[in-house]
Every structure is written in C-alpha cells, then in structure tokens.
Structure 1
Amino acid sequence: MKTPSQSQLRQTIYFQLFFWTALLLFGTAKMYGEYNGMIFKDVFLYNFCHWIFQIIGANFIYFILIRYFFDRKRYIEFSLYLIISLYLTSVMNRFFIVYIAEPLFINKLKDSVFDILTDIPYLLIHYTFTIISGAFIFISIMFFIRYKDEKGRTIKLQKEKTELELQSLKSQLNPHFLFNTLNNIYSLSISHSDKTSQSISQLSDILDYILHKGQKKWVTVSDELSILDDYIALESLRYHDERLNIEKHIRLNSPNTIPPLLYLTLVENAFKHGAGKSSETTEIKIDMETNDLHSVFKIENTFSSHQTADEKGIGLQNIQRQLQYHYQKNFTFSISQENNIFKVEITTPSHYD
C-alpha cells in the first residue's frame, strides 16, 4: 500500500465533488420529469437521504475493503466484510430516514427497530441495491483513474530508468583510451614534440564534448564527425604509419542530427578490435552521407586471421540500445564480417523526436 500524495488526494476530492454532485443533479432532473409538486419534494428528500449513504458506502467499499483486502488478495475476508458492510449501511440508511428524515416532513408510523434489522428483502430492494448502484459506478471510475495513474507512473519510471541507462551508456568511453592518450602525450612532451600542444587540445575537445554535448539528446552530424577526427588523431599516436591505414569519405548534403557519441563508439570499437588486437596493418574505412531523409554511417576495419570478431560486444549492444531508445524501430543497424573485414552500417532519419 502506498500513501497517496497531496496531488492525488486533491484529485480524488475534486473527482468526488464532481461525481456525486453530478449524480444528485442527474437523479433530480430525472425525478422532476416524473413527479411534480409535493410528490417531487418528498421523493427528492428520500433520494437525497439515499444519496448520502451511497457516498458513505461507496467510499468505505473502495478505500477500506478494496484497498486493504481485495488489493491484497484476501478475497474471502473481502467478500465477508462486503456483505456485512452493505447490510449495516442499509440498516443505517433506513434508521436515518425513519427516525431522522421522515419526522421533518411527514407524520407516519415509524417502523420498529426489529423490522428494520430483520426485513432483509425490503432492505435489499429499497436500500442495498440503491447503495450498490451508486457505488458500482463510483468504484468503476476510481479503478479507471487508478489504472491510468499507475500506467502513467510506470511509463514515467521506465523513462527515467531508460534515461539513466542511456547516461551510463554515454559514459562508457573506453578508459584505456584516456590512459593511453595521456601516456602518449607525456611521451611527446619529453621529446619536445610539436604535437604535444595539439594533442592536449584534441583531448580537451573530446572530454568537453563528452561532458557537455554528450548529455544532450541530439547533436549535429558535423559536430560528431569533428570529434571523430580528434579521436582518430589521438589514437593514431599509438601506431606507426605502416600499422594504420585510415580512409574517410564524407558527403554532408544536409545538416542532420544524431544522438551524441553514436559514431564515436563505433570508431572506438574499430580501433579496439582492429589495430588494438593485431600486429599487422589495420585498415579502417569510414563512409558518411547525409541527405534530407537519412543519415548513413558505415565503418569497416580489418582484423587478424586468428582473431574472431565479436558481433555481440558490449559496445555494439550499447549502440543497439541507444538506437532503440531514440528511434524505436525507425532505423537500421547491420553488422557483417567477411574475409577478415568487420563492417557496421547505421541508417537513421535525418531528424527525429
């Protein structure tokens, strides 16, 4: 059982005010068409008395019996208490009418207490069924509201969970990259290389991108490609020229957007499973094209003959989950390998939200 929040309490109060007022007005309008004069007045007073106990009975059944017994699957106790509560509410309703309400507007012989307590058929027809009719409508609507609220909370929690997972995915840039890059920059600084300051600037740009634009939902393809250049330049410091062959073909015909770090993760994956696990020359080819409808990113890398490409690696699984989060089913993500060449292709809409 969860304690209702103040907003839920206000919502319930407003609903009850509206529902019971509407029910009274509807019943009054219906009676007005059937009765007139003193007869209408008497019938209205009787129905008003029933209306009060409809409210009491419906709220007791929903907030006590349903919430504390039915929701906890204590069905036998619920059924027993429901029968008892309907009987007692019907008896109290009849007592109220006979001994409090009727003396105010009619002079008739009062029913005995024994008759009120024991005349079950009369209680059922004139009191219990009236209480049940109002309670049934009220409880049905309350169940609908509750289902809607719980569904909304479930969707909200799922969204928050997914967003937290996404933030975790975005933060999974290989820590070995940072460690190796710092080592390489340190080596450059010892040798007084001209590349030292440039490498520091590139690393700074990558970290700034991850910390700031990496937290956004969308970035431009050009921004992502720019950071890829910095990443490739820093990774290339680890290898001699003959160990690495990189080709890029970029055709940006439209300023499309993508989730941040999407392509960066693929490039990192290509270095990790290509040059990072082979002493042979590694080739990495990047092909990027945008148009008014789609963004198509292709990347392939060679790997050594004794190495088995992992098509279900964590990096690729993360990309799959990011794509599903951002695009649902409106994307293509294909992975293939042939003749020691590992290929990945992603096609996404030009813009999507």
Structure 2
Amino acid sequence: MVKKRSGGKLKNGIIQQAVFWIALFVFGIFRNYGELEQPDFREILYYDICHWIFQIIGANWIYSVLIRKFFEAKKYFLFTVYFVGGIYFLGVLNRLFIVYLAEPLFADYPQDPVCDIFTDVNYLLFYYILPIISGSFIFISVKFMLRYRDEKQNALQLQKEKSELELKALKAQLNPHFLFNTLNNIYSLSITGSGAVPQSISRLSDILDYLLYHGQKERGSIAEEMKIIKDYIALEMLRYDERLDIEMVEKIEFPGLIPPLLYLSFVENAFKHSAEKTSGTVTISISVRTDENNAIFTVDNPLFENDQNNDTGIGLENIRRQLNLYYPNRHSLEIKQTDNRFSVGLITPLT
C-alpha cells in the first residue's frame, strides 16, 4: 500500500512538473518572438531550450535542496551563501553551455573567452541568472500552492483517520471484556480488604480520562503516554497475576510528542496476542528511549501456534496509515514475526 502511494505521488509530481515547464516554455517562446522586430523563430527556439533546461535544474535545486533543507530548517545564512554561489554557478554553466555547445550547432557567432564569461557579472545577471530566478520563483510559488492544498487535504484525512483510530482504540483497550475483568478484580480486592483497591481505581480512572479527553489532542507527551501504559499494565497484572512478566526499559532523556494512543495500541496488541492466548507464563518486553532527534519504541511478546496472524491485529493497519499521515517519509515501522516471538519497532522524530 505504501509503495503504491509513493509511486502514485511520484507519478503525479512528474506530470505536474511536465505540464508546468511545457507551459512556461511555450509562454517564453511567444514572449520573445513578439519582442523582436525580425525574429528568427529557429534561433529563438534553440536559445529558449537552453535557458529552459537550466531553469528546470535551478528551480528544482532551489526548492528541493535550499528551501526544504536549509530555509525551512531556519539555516538562513547557509541558505543565502549557497543560493548566491549556486545561482552564479548555474548562470556560468548556462552561458558556457550556450556559447561552446549550443551556438555552434545553429549560429556562427564568435565565442566569448571563458575568463570573460566568469567575470562579466552584469551580462550574466541580466541574461542568464535573472531568467533562472524568474522561472524558479514561478515554479516555487506553484509548488507552495500545491503543498498548501495537499496539507489541507491531509489535515482533513488525518482528522478522519484519527477519529477512526480513537474509536478502534477505545474498543480495543476498553472493550467490555477488559472492563469486566478489571472491575471484577478490583471487587475481589475490596472483599479481601486489600489496600490496592484505591490505587487500582485511580489507575482505571486515569486511563479513562486519558482516552476520553487527552486522546482528542493531536499530540501528547511521551512521558504521559508511558504513564498510562504503566497504569494499563498494572491493571492487567491484576487479571493475569504471577504468570505475567513485564520487562520495561524507559530512557526519556529528551522530551517529545507523539499522537495519543500510539504506543498504548501496540501494548494492547501485545497483551491480546500473548497473555490472552495461554495459561502459562508470558514475558512482554517494552522499551522506549529518546535521543536528540528521535523516539525509539519497541514491544516484544510471545507468539503462539494458534495465533500466527499477529501482524493483522486490531489497529496495526490503521496505525500504519496514521503514521504515514503524521510522519510522511519521516518514520520507521518494523514488524518482525518469528516462530515464537512477535516484535514491533517504531522510530519517530521528536518534533
């Protein structure tokens, strides 16, 4: 599914570029043809093709490299330096291309010395650099309009997918079976006079509050998500008692945000496909750590012979779509299934 979407996106990008640059090329030919008193259409066509090639190169370089990697990352000094140096270099290449490669094919003009080509900045500016900048400006303006349209559509789709995920998560984590067992265990503790009753009720209340209120937010802190996961595990341990072994590693050295219910959905899936499938001891490993750039989350659980389709568990396919909308081309989701273990590894950016 992801490959098909990536292929379709690439195809649409190529089509959009082709339509834009062909339209700009045709417009340039008619403009130049109308400005000359005795135009030579053949010569105009050749010159426009030469300029057109470097407009395409320059516009894509400015947008894809300078704007996306430097300007949007607020590296303005590097953006300015690379822009000035790069646009001058493209202007020189464009003139060298025309003088030494293109003109000999259709005209008999004297060739300018290479030194003059590099040093005649005024001529480069008005006849080579400005055409590249003007074409790039129009191209980048169109790209930003298309990005705004796509981001708006993605935002609407994201809200729709988020609502579906929250609904499925509520059904998965707070299904009647889970609530019944939790409340029944708390009731049993109350009969025996256990001191764990108030804490168990508090944990159940925290989970309900998080799912019903905090789950509506677009982002939530990783620390907050892990607290709810611990509450969820504590309640499940009331249900499974000594046969549940939880190995948890938590190293949140850098704070970060994630979509609410993201980690909790993976943990619930681990319980559903391990502890619920056997009466024996079950070991579930959960790890979350952050560095300066990413949050790394893993969960590992046993896989039993009668449950080999763990990869299609409730919510996993929905989570994949969510990740593609929240972190397009900026996340890594790895799902591994062996003979007796199932593991999920997720890497997402902190911002």
Place the TM-score, normalised by the shorter chain, in its bin.
0.5 to 0.7
Structure 1 residues 161 and 188: CA distance shift in structure 2, 3 A = same
Q: Is the 8 A contact 1:303 1:309 kept in 2?
A: no
| Counterpart residue identity of residue 195, structure 2 | D
The 5-angstrom pairing of residues 118-197 of structure 1 reads: 156=152, 159-171=155-167, 172-173=169-170, 174=172, 175=175, 176-197=177-198
Name 1:262's counterpart in structure 2: 262
- Aligned residue pairs total 203
**Structure 2: stretches of 5+ with no match in the other structure:** 1-144
Structure 1 residues 151 and 273: CA distance shift in structure 2, 3 A = same
**Structure 1: stretches of 5+ with no match in the other structure:** 1-148
Q: Is the 8 A contact 1:253 1:289 kept in 2?
A: yes
CA distance in 2, matches of 1:256, 1:178: 30
| Counterpart residue identity of residue 318, structure 2 | N
The 5-angstrom pairing of residues 36-75 of structure 1 reads: none
SS in 1 for 2:308: coil
SS in 1 for 2:307: coil
CA distance in 2, matches of 1:208, 1:168: 19
| Counterpart residue identity of residue 252, structure 2 | L
Name 1:299's counterpart in structure 2: 299
CA distance in 2, matches of 1:306, 1:300: 18
Name 2:226's counterpart in structure 1: 225
| Counterpart residue identity of residue 231, structure 1 | Y
Name 2:250's counterpart in structure 1: 250
Structure 1 residues 294 and 154: CA distance shift in structure 2, 3 A = closer
Give the drift of 1:339: 3.5
Give the drift of 1:158: 5.9
| Counterpart residue identity of residue 250, structure 1 | E
The 5-angstrom pairing of residues 207-222 of structure 1 reads: 207-222=208-223
Q: Is the 8 A contact 2:274 2:282 kept in 1?
A: yes
CA distance in 1, matches of 2:256, 2:268: 22
CA distance in 2, matches of 1:153, 1:228: 37
After superposition, the C-alpha distances for 1:194-237 in whole angstroms (9 at most, x for unaligned) are 11111100000111111222111111111111111100000111
Structure 1 residues 154 and 346: CA distance shift in structure 2, 3 A = closer
CA distance in 2, matches of 1:277, 1:240: 15
| Counterpart residue identity of residue 308, structure 1 | Q
Structure 1 residues 194 and 165: CA distance shift in structure 2, 3 A = same
Q: Is the 8 A contact 2:161 2:322 kept in 1?
A: no
SS in 1 for 2:312: coil
After superposition, the C-alpha distances for 1:17-41 in whole angstroms (9 at most, x for unaligned) are xxxxxxxxxxxxxxxxxxxxxxxxx
Name 2:317's counterpart in structure 1: 317
CA distance in 2, matches of 1:188, 1:335: 38
SS in 2 for 1:246: strand
Q: Is the 8 A contact 1:280 1:304 kept in 2?
A: no
SS in 2 for 1:238: helix
Structure 1 residues 230 and 281: CA distance shift in structure 2, 3 A = same
**CA-atom RMSD, angstroms?**
2.4
Give the drift of 1:187: 2.2
| Counterpart residue identity of residue 205, structure 1 | D
The 5-angstrom pairing of residues 10-89 of structure 1 reads: none
Give the drift of 1:345: 0.4
Q: Is the 8 A contact 2:203 2:232 kept in 1?
A: yes
CA distance in 1, matches of 2:154, 2:328: 14
Name 2:201's counterpart in structure 1: 200
Give the drift of 1:274: 0.6
| Counterpart residue identity of residue 265, structure 1 | S
After superposition, the C-alpha distances for 1:278-331 in whole angstroms (9 at most, x for unaligned) are 122111001111011100001000133443142122321122122112111210
| Counterpart residue identity of residue 166, structure 2 | K
Name 1:308's counterpart in structure 2: 308
SS in 2 for 1:284: strand
TM-score, normalised via structure 1 length: 0.53
Q: Is the 8 A contact 1:301 1:343 kept in 2?
A: yes
CA distance in 2, matches of 1:318, 1:343: 17
SS in 2 for 1:247: strand
Give the drift of 1:153: 8.3
State the identity %. 46
CA distance in 1, matches of 2:331, 2:183: 36
| Counterpart residue identity of residue 249, structure 1 | V
CA distance in 2, matches of 1:338, 1:327: 28
After superposition, the C-alpha distances for 1:75-126 in whole angstroms (9 at most, x for unaligned) are xxxxxxxxxxxxxxxxxxxxxxxxxxxxxxxxxxxxxxxxxxxxxxxxxxxx
Name 1:240's counterpart in structure 2: 241
